[in-house]
A and B are shown apart, each in its own frame.
Chain A
Amino acid sequence: MAEARSRLLTDAAATPSPAVAIPREATAAALLAALAAVLPFLLGWLSVAPNRLVSPRPVALPMAAAALPLGLFLLCCLGVALLARRRALLPWAEAVAGLALLALLATLGLGAGAALEGASRLARVAPGAGVWFSALALLLAGGCCAAGRGRMADATPTRFLAVALPGLALLVASGLLDPLSLLKEAAQRGPELRLALLRHAVLAAGALTLAAAVAVPLSLLALRRPRLEAALMTLANGLQVVPSIALFGLLMAPLAGLAAMWPPLRAAGIGGIGAAPAVIGIAAYLLLPLAAGMLAGLRQAPPELIDAARGQGMNERAILRHLRVPLGLGAMLGGLRVAAVQAVGLATLAALVGAGGLGAIVFQGIGQLAADLILLGVLPVVALSLCVDALLAAAQRLLMPPGTRA
C-alpha cells in the first residue's frame, strides 16, 4: 500500500505536464527503440552450426533476402521513438513496438532460410545474441509506453502482446520461421510440447484454486478478527521465505507417508511424487498475495459508508455483497493477478517432483545443455505468464469503478 501511495505521489509530481509537453516515457522508449534497432547489427543476427553438435558461429544477415521486413523493422523502431513523444499516441507506440518484434522475426526467418541455402541438411541456424537482446528491448519499450497509461503506474504491455502474440502465431503458421532450429525442435516435439503446456496450465490453475479456497474464506473470517488476521499473515509471510525447491522436497515425504497409510489417497493419485506436492507447494506461496489482496479489497469501502449501510438496516452479508466486494474488486483482482503470475512461474519447478509441465522440457534441456530445448520450455512459460498478467490487468481496469483506482 505504501508502494501504491508513493507511486501516486510520483505520478502527481509528474502529471502537471500540459498536453503538448513530451511525456516522460518518451526518453526511455526512444532509447530502447534505438537499442532494438542497433543491437542485431552489433551482436549478430544469425548463428549457424554445421550440425547439432558443433558450436554455432555468427554469420552476416543475407540482406537481399530479408530487405523488406528489415526495412519494416527499422521503420517500426523509428515509429516507436516518434509516437512516444505524444502522450495521446503512447498506446500506438506500444502496438508499433509489437509490430517491430514481428518484423524482426520475419527478417530472421527469411535471413535464416537464405543462410541455409546450399548448406547441408544437418546445418542448424539460430537467432544471434543481438536478436534476443533486441526482442527484450522491444518488450521493455512496450512496457515503458504502457507505464504512461493512466494513473496506475502499471507497465504490463497489454497492447504489445495483443499485437505480438497473434502475429507470432501467424508467422509460425505461415512457415516463415521454419528454418530456425528452435522451430525444428518444436516440430519434433509437437505433441509433447502441447501436453506440457496444457499440464503446466492445469497445475497453475489447480494451485490457484486450492490457494483461493483457503485464502478467501480465511480472509473473510479475519476481516473482523485481528488475531486470526495476524496469524494468517504471519503464516503466509513465513512461507514466502522457504525456498520453493525445499518446500516441494519437504512435502514429498509426508505425502508419501499419507498415501502409504491411507490407500484411498493413493488410488486418487495423491502421493509423494507427481501433481500433489507440486500443487500444494505452489498454493502455499499464493496465500500471501491472495490473502493480502482480499483483505485490502475488503477494507476498500470507507467506514462511514459501512456505518451508513448498517444504519439503513443492511446486514453483514448484504454489506459484503453490495459494498465491500464491488468497491474492493480492483484490489482483490490485483492480488489474484500477482498470484496467477507467480503460479505460472512456480509451476516450472513442479517438474522437479515429477509433476511434468513445461519445466520438464526445461530440465531436460539443462541436462543435455541444449539451448533450443531450454528455450522451448522457457519461452512458453514467459509467454503464458505475460498473457495471464495482461489479461488480468485488463480485467482489473475494466472492473474497477473509476473512483477507486489507486
Chain B
Amino acid sequence: MRLSRRAAGVLAQALAFLLALWAAPHLGWLWGGLFPEVQRPVWDQRNWFALLGSHLLLSLGAAAVAAVLGLAGGILATRQSGRRLRPLLDALFSLAQAVPPIAVIALALPALGFGAAPTLLALVLYACLPVLRGAVAGLDGVPPGVLDAARGIGMGPWRGLTQIEMPLALPVVLSSLRLAVVLSIATAAVGAMAGAECLGTPIVVGLANNNGAYVLQGGLFTAWLALLADRALALLLPARR
C-alpha cells in the first residue's frame, strides 16, 4: 500500500519532468525574461528528448556493465580462494578516490577519440566501485553460522551462493546499485566535455558561448533527472523504519 503510493509519487514526478522537457522550447518568454542580454535564449540545437535518450543510454548502459563486473568481482573477492584479491581492491578504491572522473575522461580522450567512448569507460570504472564495495560488504555481512548450516544440510558452493548468500546480501547490494546508477547519471553530464551527447551538452555549449540560458536549462534538467532517478531507485529498497 505504502509502496504503491510512493511509486505513484515518483511516477507523477517523472511525468512532470517529461512535461517540462517538452515545454522547455516553448518557454521563450521565461528564458528570455531571465536572461535579457542573451540573444537566443531557447535551446534548439538538439531535441531535448534525444538528449535525454542518449543520456539514459550512456549512463544506464555503463551502470549495467558495471553491475555485472562489480558483482562478479565482489563474489570472487569473497570466496576463500579470492581473498588474496582484497588488498588489490583496497588499493583500487583508494586510488579511484584520488582521481576525479573528468581526469579519466580526459586521459582516455587521446586514445579513444571524441564522443561517447571515453565517457563510457569512465562511467563503467566509477560505477563499478560502489557495486564492488557493496557486494563485498553484503557478502561479508552474511553470518558464518548461516553458511555453516547451509553446508551442513548439503548445499554446494553454488547453491549456497545463490540461495543463501545473495538473498541475505541483497539489501546492501541493491543500495550500492542505486548509488552506481545515480552516480553514473550524474557523471554522464561531465561527458559532454568530451563530446558525448547528453543533457550536459547544453551546459557545455552555454558555457562556451556565454549563454546563461542554455546553462540554466541544461543544469536544471540534468539535476532533475539525477534526483528523479534517486527517488525512483529508492522504491527498490525496503522503506526505512
Q: Which residues of A contact B (CB under 8 A)?
A: 2-3, 6, 9-10, 14, 24-29, 31-32, 139-144, 146-148, 153-157, 238, 241-250, 252-253, 256, 272, 338, 341, 345-346, 348-349, 352-353, 359, 362-363, 365-366, 369-371, 374-375, 377-378, 381-382, 385-386, 389
Residues of chain B from 139 to 164 with CB closer than 8 A to chain A in the complex: 140-141
Interface string of B218-241 (1 = CB under 8 A from A): 111011001100100000000000
Task: Beyond the given A253-B212, A381-B100, please list 7 additional residue pairs across the A-B interface where CB-CB is below 8 A.
Answer: A242-B223, A246-B200, A246-B226, A249-B215, A348-B102, A349-B102, A382-B98
- Min C-beta distance of B30 to chain A, whole Å: 12
Q: Is the interface of B mostly helix, strand, loop or mixed?
A: helix
Q: Is B192 an interface residue (CB 8 A)?
A: yes
Q: Is B95 an interface residue (CB 8 A)?
A: yes
A353 CA to B212 CA, complexed, in Å: 11
Contact in complex: B194, A345 (CB < 8 Å): no
Interface string of B123-138 (1 = CB under 8 A from A): 0000000000100110
Contact in complex: B110, A154 (CB < 8 Å): no
Contact in complex: B227, A241 (CB < 8 Å): yes
Q: What residues of A have a CB within 8 angstroms of the CB of B185 in the complex?
A: 243
Using a Cβ–Cβ cut-off of 8 Å, how many residues does chain B contribute to the interface with A?
A: 56
Interface string of B53-72 (1 = CB under 8 A from A): 00000000000000000000
Q: What residues of B have a CB within 8 angstroms of the CB of A252 in the complex?
A: 212, 215
Contact in complex: B193, A363 (CB < 8 Å): yes
5 closest A-B pairs (Cβ-Cβ)? A143-B91, A345-B100, A249-B219, A371-B110, A246-B219
Q: What residues of A have a CB within 8 angstroms of the CB of B24 in the complex?
A: none
Contact in complex: B106, A377 (CB < 8 Å): yes
- Min C-beta distance of A132 to chain B, whole Å: 9
A366 CA to B136 CA, complexed, in Å: 36
Contact in complex: A369, B223 (CB < 8 Å): no
Contact in complex: A348, B215 (CB < 8 Å): no
Q: What residues of B have a CB within 8 angstroms of the CB of A362 in the complex?
A: 102-103, 106
A141 CA to B87 CA, complexed, in Å: 9
Q: What residues of B have a CB within 8 angstroms of the CB of A9 in the complex?
A: 140-141
Contact in complex: B140, A140 (CB < 8 Å): no
Q: Is the interface of A mostly helix, strand, loop or mixed?
A: helix
Q: What residues of A have a CB within 8 angstroms of the CB of B88 in the complex?
A: 28, 31-32, 140, 144
Contact of B227 among A142, A143, A242, A345 (CB under 8 A): A242
Q: What residues of A have a CB within 8 angstroms of the CB of B109 in the complex?
A: 366, 369, 374
Q: Is B203 an interface residue (CB 8 A)?
A: yes
A381 CA to B207 CA, complexed, in Å: 22
- Which residue of chain B has the shortest Cβ distance to A390 in the bound complex? B98
Contact in complex: B91, A246 (CB < 8 Å): no
Contact in complex: A155, B94 (CB < 8 Å): yes
Contact of A245 among B87, B94, B216, B222 (CB under 8 A): B222
Most B Cβ at <10 Å: residue of A25, A243, A247: A243
Q: Sample 24 A-B pairs with CB under 8 A, ordered by A number.
A: A24-B84, A28-B85, A28-B87, A28-B88, A140-B88, A140-B91, A144-B87, A154-B90, A155-B91, A241-B223, A241-B226, A242-B186, A243-B187, A245-B222, A249-B203, A249-B207, A249-B219, A250-B215, A250-B220, A352-B193, A369-B110, A385-B99, A389-B97, A389-B98
A154-B98 contact given A6-B140, A253-B216, CB 8 Å threshold: no
A241-B182 contact given A272-B212, A359-B102, A363-B193, CB 8 Å threshold: yes
Contact of B212 among A26, A256, A365, A366 (CB under 8 A): A256
- Which residue of chain A has the shortest Cβ distance to B88 in the bound complex? A28
Interface string of B159-199 (1 = CB under 8 A from A): 00000000000000000000000100111111011100000
- Min C-beta distance of B77 to chain A, whole Å: 10
Q: What residues of A have a CB within 8 angstroms of the CB of B182 in the complex?
A: 241
Q: What residues of B have a CB within 8 angstroms of the CB of A243 in the complex?
A: 185-190, 200, 222-223, 226
A365 CA to B182 CA, complexed, in Å: 29
Most A Cβ at <10 Å: residue of B86, B140, B194: B86
Contact of B90 among A144, A241, A346, A382 (CB under 8 A): A144
Contact in complex: A245, B97 (CB < 8 Å): no
- Min C-beta distance of B239 to chain A, whole Å: 16
